[in-house]
Structure 1
Amino acid sequence: MGTGALGGQEGDRVSGDGGPGNWSPLDHAVLRQVLDGTPAGVGIYDPQLRYVYVNPALARMNGLPADAHVGRRITEVLPDLDDAGEEALRQVLSDGKSREVPSSGRTHAESELGRRYWQGAYHRLDAADGTVLGLVGIMLEVSASRQHQQELERARERLAILDRAATFIGTTLEMDETCAELAGFLVPLLADIATVEVFPTERSTPCNRGVLRLRRAAMAALPNLREQVKTFGEPGEYVEYPSGTTIPRCLRSGSPVVQNLFDDDALGHGGSVRERMAAFRSVGIHSALVVPLAARGEPIGTVTLVRCGESPGFTERDTETVQDVVRRAAIYLDNARRYTHEHGIALELQRALMSEPGSPHPSVEAAFRYQPAGSTALVGGDWYDTVRLSYGRTLLAMGDVMGHGVEASVDMSQYRSMLRFVAAADLPPHRILRRLDALISETESGRPASCLLALVDPARGTCTFSSAGHLPPAVIRPDGTVRIVDVPVGPPLGTGHGGYEAVPASCRPGDVLLLYTDGLVERRGEDIDASLDRLAGLRLHSDGDLGGLVDRVLSLLVVEPADDDIAVLAARIIR
C-alpha cells in the first residue's frame, strides 16, 4: 500500500450514475472504514516485525489497545507465539511470496480456551523503488474449531488405547493373570509403576478393626525400576491400609484420587510405612493416581499408578483415560472371579462324586492322580476305579465322559456306579463294556463316554484289556522301558453299537500298568501316534513309591497347563 494508493488519484475514481457522487475506494476515510469495520484482524508490521498499525478487531484479539501495539514487536505482544509462526513471517519478508500461516500463542486477553489459534494471510509491502516496507497480515481466530479438533483427537486417542487394551487384557479367566495383564498394559503407556490390589476371598473379615486388607495381585514397573520396586513388596502379599488413607478413601468414595508432587506427609497419608519413604524417594516417586476397580456395582480392589523422575504429573485427561481402561478391565476381572468361584464349586462337586476307588486285592498295589484342566475349561468327566473280584482278581477302570462341567461330573458318578454293579456279575471285560453300553444308551440324557478296562489276574500272570473308544494302556517294565499295549478300540459307551474285544497280555511281578485319560498325552495339533510315542519314549523306574512314579510321569509329560483334565491310574503286580 503506497502513497499513491492513499492519494485518491483521478484514474482511480468511479462514477455512480444516480448515486451519491463520485468517490474512490482508496480514499483515506473509505479505507479506514474498511479496516476498522472488518471482523478480521488486520495488522501492518515493519521489517523488524514491529507493529505499525492494528485495526480494532486485532486489538481485541490481542487484549491490548491499538496504540499500545505501535512500536512493539510481535513477540512482545504475544510472548508465547510459536516459533514456526514467526519464522514464516520472516520468510515472507525475505522472498516476497505471500503465505497463509497458522499460528498459536497466549495473549493478554482472558480466554477460557487457554492457548489460542489463528489462521493468517501475509504479504510483503514494497516501496516504488523496491525497498521493503514491511508486512500486512489478515487474521482470523480459529481457536474454537481448533479446540473441537483437539477434543476429537483426544477421543480418538482414548478409543485407540481402549482398542489396544481389549487385545491385551482379558485373554485368560485366571484372576491374577488378568491383573498382571492390566498392570503390564498401564506400564509404560500411562505410568512408570502400576499395582493392582484386590479384595481377598475373606474380605468380609478384616484382619484388624479399622484396617483395610488387600492382596497385591500384580505389579509392573519400567525395566530400570524393577529391582528398586522389589523393596516395596511382591505380588501375592497382603497389604494393610489404615482407615483414612488414600486407598480406603478411594474405595469409599468410588472416585479416583490424584496426588501430584506430594511430600512425606502425603506419602504417609497414602498408607506407606515411614521406614519405606526413603525407598520411595530413592525411586523418585512424585505423583500417584489411585482408581477404584469395580464391576456390576461390586468393588474388586484398586489400581495404583505412579510416576517418577522427570515424568509429568497426572492430568485430568490421564485420569479419564485410566478410568476407561480400568472399567473395561474390571469386567474381565469380575468374569475371572466368578469363573474361579464356579470352577471351584464344580471341582469340589466332582471330587465329592468321585469317591475313593475300591481297594484292590493285596497282590495289586494301586495309585491314582487327578489333575483338572487349566483355566480355559470347566472340570470334565474323567474317572477311575478298582473293583475287587473273586479268586484274587482286580478290575481296573479308566473312563472319560464327553463334555465338561457339572453335568459331565454327574454322569461320571452314575457310570461309575453302573460299572461296579455290572462288574459284580463277574463278567469278562468286553462283556462288561457291552452291558454298560446298553445301559447308558437307554438313558435319555446319557452322554457318550470312553472306557478302558483291565482285569488283572496275578495268580495266572495275565491281564485282559478291553477298550470302548479309549487310549491304549501302557506297561512299565522293571528295566524302565515303557510299552504301549495294542488294544482294539470299540465304539464309545452309550452308542448302543457294542462290538468290544478282549485282549490278554502277560503281567509279571514288578510290572506297572498305566491307565490314563487323553489329557496326559494329547497335544493340540499333534497326531495321536506322536503323543503315544512320547509316552513310550520315557525311561522310568517301576520300583519304589508308586505314587511318586505317577507324579514323575505327570512332570515329564505335562509341562504346561493342559487343555483337558488328566486322570492317571497306576497298578503294580506285587506277587
Structure 2
Amino acid sequence: MDLPPDDWLSHALLDGTQAGVAVLDTDLRYVFVNPALARMNGVPAGEHIGRTTGEVVPGVDPREDVLRQVLADGLSREAVSSGQTRADSVHARRYWHGSYHRLEDPHGRVRGLGAIVMEVSADRETQREVERTRERLLLLDAAAVRIGSTLEMERTCQELCDLLVEVIADVATVEVLSLAGDGHRPAPPGMLRLRRAAMAARVPLAGKVGQFGVPGEYVDYQRGSAIPTCLETGRPVVSNYGSDEALSRSAPNPERVAAYRAAGIHSGMVVPLSARGARIGTVSMVRAGDSPAFTEDDAAVTRALADRAAISLDNARRYSREHGIAVELQRALLAAPGTPHPRVDVATRYLPAGATDLVGGDWFDTLALPGGVTLLAMGDVMGHGVEAAVEMSHYRSMLRVVAGDFMRAAGTVGARAPGRILRRLDDLLTAAGAERPGTCLIGLADPACGGAWFANAGHLPPAVISPDGDVSLLPVPPGPPLGADLCGRYETVRVEWPGGHTLLLYTDGLVERRTEDIDVSLERLAGLSLPQAAGPLDGLLGGIVSRLAPTAAEDDVALLAARARIGA
C-alpha cells in the first residue's frame, strides 16, 4: 500500500458507498461531493465545487431552512427533500432522505456541514401505493355498507352518486339503459337514449347542474361521445377538456359546451356499469373549478366502486321485474272472485307487501254453490314471488271444483261438509305433488238458516262483527296445512250468522307482528270497536285496515267480508 491508512480508508468509504456524501461550507456551497452524489445529481463532481444545490440542480428543494438550523445550533437533523435532478429517472418525482451535521475544526470554529443523502423514491412510491390500496379498501367497505341497502334501483343509484361526490367527483350521475317495454320513445337517428337514474353534486355546483337534466329524464347522447364510447368498449373514458373542441366531442351534444364552460367543468370520466355479463348503464363524473383533473388512479377506484354497485343494481333490476310480474299476476288472479248468491253481500281487499318485499301467495274466493249456499274462502300459499302467485291460483281453482262437486252430490251442507271438502282438496294436492303447502279457511254460508259452517287448514280463525261494531273470534280449530302430506282431520264448526252481522276472513299479514305472540295479535283484532260496522262493507274493510295493517307491511294483507242481506 503506498497510501497512508487514513487516505485509502477515506477513499474506499466515500467512493464505494451508494449514499451521496457532501461537504458544504457556511454559505452552503459544495466543497466536496463523492461519486454517488454526482451520479444522483447527473452532474460531474468537479462542477459542484463552489456552487449551491440550487445552482447545480435547480429542480430540487434542498431544505435550506433545515441546513441553516444545523449551522446555527449544532444539532444534527434529518430531512426529506424532493424534486428532479439532471440525471434520468423512472420516477416522476424523486425523494431523498438526508442526514446533516455541523463540521467544526480542532479550534471549535464552524467550517460547514456534512451531508449524507440516500434516495428513497422507490420506498415512497411503495408507501403511496400501500396508502392508495388502503384507501380503496376503505371505499369498498363503505360501498358495501352504503350501496344496495334496498332493492329499489333508483335509491341504489342515488347511494352510489352520493358516495362518489364525497370522495372523487364534483358531480356524479348514473345513466341506465332502458329495458324492453318501458314505454320510452326511441332516440333520434344517430343518438343513444339513456335514462338518468340519479344525480348528486357538491354544494357549489348543485344549483348549476339541474340544467343538464334531472333524475327520471331521458338524455340523448351523440355517437362517439363519452358515454356511448364507454358502453361500446366496456372501459372507462377519462377526458380532460383542454379545448372546446374536445369538450364538444365528449358531451352528449355540442350545444352543451357553453353551459359546461360556464359551470367551470374541465374534466370528465365515464365508467361502465355491468354485472353478470349484462350492461346496465354508466357512471358519469365531472370535476370543475379548482379540482384537479381525473387520473387513471381515479378511474381504477371508480371502476372498483362501480363493479360493487353494479351487482346491487342488477339485483334491484331483477327484483323490480319479478316484483312487478308477481304483483300484476296476483292482482289479475284476485280481481275476479266468484259471484256469491244474491242474498249475500261480499267485499274484498288486497294489499301487497312493501316495496322491498316480494308479494306472497295470499288469496280469497267466493262462489255460489247449489242449495243457496255461498262458499267463502281465504288462503295463504307458502313463499313469495311469481311461483307463490301461480301456486295460489292452483289452490283456488281446485277448491272451486271440489266444493262444487261435493255440493252437487250432497244437495245440502251437512254437519261435516267443509271438513270433507278440505280433506278431499288435501288428497288431490298431495297426489298432484304440490310444491308449496298452504293454509286455507273455508266457510259455507247459508243466509236462509242464519248460519255458516267453517273448517280450517292451518289458517287464522274467522271473526264475526256485530252491527254495533264488536268483534268476536270464532272457535274454528285448525287442522294441518294443505299439500303438506300430513293426512290430517279437519273439524267442521257451525256458527250463528244473524242478519246484519258480518263474517270476516283475513290473512296473517293483517294482524301478525314478528315481535309478539300470535295470541296477542289476535287479541288486538278482537279488541277493535268498529262504529262503521253497519255501513257498506268496503268502508268496514277500510276501517279495519287503517286500524290494524302496518304502514310498511312485511307481508301481504287479504280480507274478505260477507253479510246476509236482510229481507232479501
Q: For structure 1, which runs of at least 5 residues remain unmatched after alignment?
A: 1-19
Other structure's SS at 1:360 match: coil
> How far 1:385 sits from its partner (Å)?
0.6
Counterpart for residue 432 of structure 1: 421
Counterpart for residue 554 of structure 2: 563
Q: Which deviates more from structure 2 when the two are superposed, residues 109-118 or residues 265-274?
A: 265-274
Q: Within 1, Cα distance between the matches of 2:479 and 2:187?
A: 57
Counterpart for residue 177 of structure 2: 199
Q: Within 2, Cα distance between the matches of 1:266 and 1:571?
A: 71
1:358-378 deviation digits (Å, cap 9, x = unpaired): 111223333334444446554
Q: Which deviates more from structure 2 when the two are superposed, residues 188-197 or residues 250-259?
A: 250-259
Is the 2:471–2:529 Cα contact (8 Å) retained in structure 1? Answer: no
1:525-555 deviation digits (Å, cap 9, x = unpaired): 3333454455555757457775566566556
1:40 aligns with 2:31: no
1:400-456 deviation digits (Å, cap 9, x = unpaired): 122234553444233223322332224443443344344445554454321122333
Is the 2:213–2:219 Cα contact (8 Å) retained in structure 1? Answer: no
> How far 1:329 sits from its partner (Å)?
2.0
Q: Which amino acid aligns with 1:496?
A: C
Pick the aligned partner of 1:492 from 464, 468, 480: 480
For residues 312 and 500 of structure 1, do their structure 2 counterparts lie closer, same or farther at Cα, with a shift above 3 Å needed? farther
1:3-58 deviation digits (Å, cap 9, x = unpaired): xxxxxxxxxxxxxxxxx46x42333x763564344332111123343332222221
Pick the aligned partner of 2:39 from 29, 43, 60: 60
Q: Within 2, Cα distance between the matches of 1:321 and 1:562?
A: 39
Is the 2:470–2:530 Cα contact (8 Å) retained in structure 1? Answer: yes
Counterpart for residue 381 of structure 1: 361
Other structure's SS at 1:234 match: coil
Is the 2:511–2:522 Cα contact (8 Å) retained in structure 1? Answer: yes
> How far 1:488 sits from its partner (Å)?
3.6
Q: Which amino acid aligns with 1:49?
A: L
Counterpart for residue 191 of structure 2: 211
Q: Within 2, Cα distance between the matches of 1:476 and 1:274?
A: 69
> How far 1:398 sits from its partner (Å)?
0.6
Pick the aligned partner of 2:443 from 443, 446, 454: 454
> How far 1:270 sits from its partner (Å)?
4.1
1:86-132 deviation digits (Å, cap 9, x = unpaired): 55444433443444444433323332201112233332211223222
For residues 245 and 554 of structure 1, do their structure 2 counterparts lie closer, same or farther at Cα, with a shift above 3 Å needed? farther
Task: Give the alignment of 1:145-544 within 5 angstroms.
Answer: 145-202=123-180, 206-223=186-203, 225-261=205-241, 265-272=245-252, 280-281=260-261, 283-347=263-327, 350=330, 356-374=336-354, 378-424=358-404, 425-426=406-407, 427=413, 428-445=417-434, 447-475=436-464, 481=469, 483-494=471-482, 495-509=486-500, 512-532=502-522, 535=525, 537=528, 541-542=532-533
Q: Within 2, Cα distance between the matches of 1:277 and 1:541?
A: 64
Task: Give the alignment of 1:48-197 within 5 angstroms.
Answer: 48-77=27-56, 79=58, 81=60, 86-197=64-175
Other structure's SS at 2:6 match: coil
Is the 1:285–1:306 Cα contact (8 Å) retained in structure 2? Answer: yes
Other structure's SS at 1:215 match: strand
Q: Within 1, Cα distance between the matches of 2:465 and 2:523?
A: 14
Is the 1:441–1:496 Cα contact (8 Å) retained in structure 2? Answer: no
Q: Which deviates more from structure 2 when the two are superposed, residues 415-424 or residues 71-80?
A: 71-80
Q: Within 1, Cα distance between the matches of 2:455 and 2:181?
A: 52
Is the 1:490–1:501 Cα contact (8 Å) retained in structure 2? Answer: no
Other structure's SS at 1:26 match: helix
Counterpart for residue 410 of structure 2: none
Is the 1:126–1:133 Cα contact (8 Å) retained in structure 2? Answer: yes
> How far 1:487 sits from its partner (Å)?
3.0
For residues 148 and 567 of structure 1, do their structure 2 counterparts lie closer, same or farther at Cα, with a shift above 3 Å needed? same
- Count of residue correspondences: 551
Is the 2:420–2:490 Cα contact (8 Å) retained in structure 1? Answer: no
Q: Which deviates more from structure 2 when the two are superposed, residues 462-471 or residues 548-557?
A: 548-557
Q: Which amino acid aligns with 1:521?
A: V
Q: Within 2, Cα distance between the matches of 1:362 and 1:224?
A: 68
> How far 1:332 sits from its partner (Å)?
2.7
> How far 1:351 sits from its partner (Å)?
5.5
Q: For structure 2, which runs of at least 5 residues remain unmatched after alignment?
A: 408-412
Other structure's SS at 1:218 match: strand
For residues 542 and 235 of structure 1, do their structure 2 counterparts lie closer, same or farther at Cα, with a shift above 3 Å needed? farther
Q: Which amino acid aligns with 1:314?
A: F
> How far 1:162 sits from its partner (Å)?
2.0
Q: Within 1, Cα distance between the matches of 2:179 and 2:54?
A: 63
Is the 2:101–2:115 Cα contact (8 Å) retained in structure 1? Answer: yes
Q: Which amino acid aligns with 1:453?
A: I
TM-score (norm 2): 0.84
Q: Which deviates more from structure 2 when the two are superposed, residues 548-557 or residues 163-172?
A: 548-557
Is the 1:46–1:134 Cα contact (8 Å) retained in structure 2? Answer: yes
Is the 1:174–1:340 Cα contact (8 Å) retained in structure 2? Answer: yes
Other structure's SS at 1:134 match: strand
Other structure's SS at 2:5 match: coil
Cα RMSD after superposing both structures: 3.5
Q: Which amino acid aligns with 2:514?
A: R
For residues 98 and 24 of structure 1, do their structure 2 counterparts lie closer, same or farther at Cα, with a shift above 3 Å needed? farther
1:55-94 deviation digits (Å, cap 9, x = unpaired): 22212212333344334444555556568x5554444334
Q: Which amino acid aligns with 1:184?
A: D
> How far 1:321 sits from its partner (Å)?
0.8
Q: Which amino acid aligns with 2:561?
A: A
Other structure's SS at 1:35 match: helix
Q: Which amino acid aligns with 1:303?
A: V
1:473-508 deviation digits (Å, cap 9, x = unpaired): 4555666x4625243441333332214341514444
Q: Which amino acid aligns with 1:65?
A: P
Q: Within 1, Cα distance between the matches of 2:502 and 2:253?
A: 58
Q: Which amino acid aligns with 1:70?
A: I
Instruction: Indicate the percent of aligned positions where both proteins have the same amino acid.
Output: 54
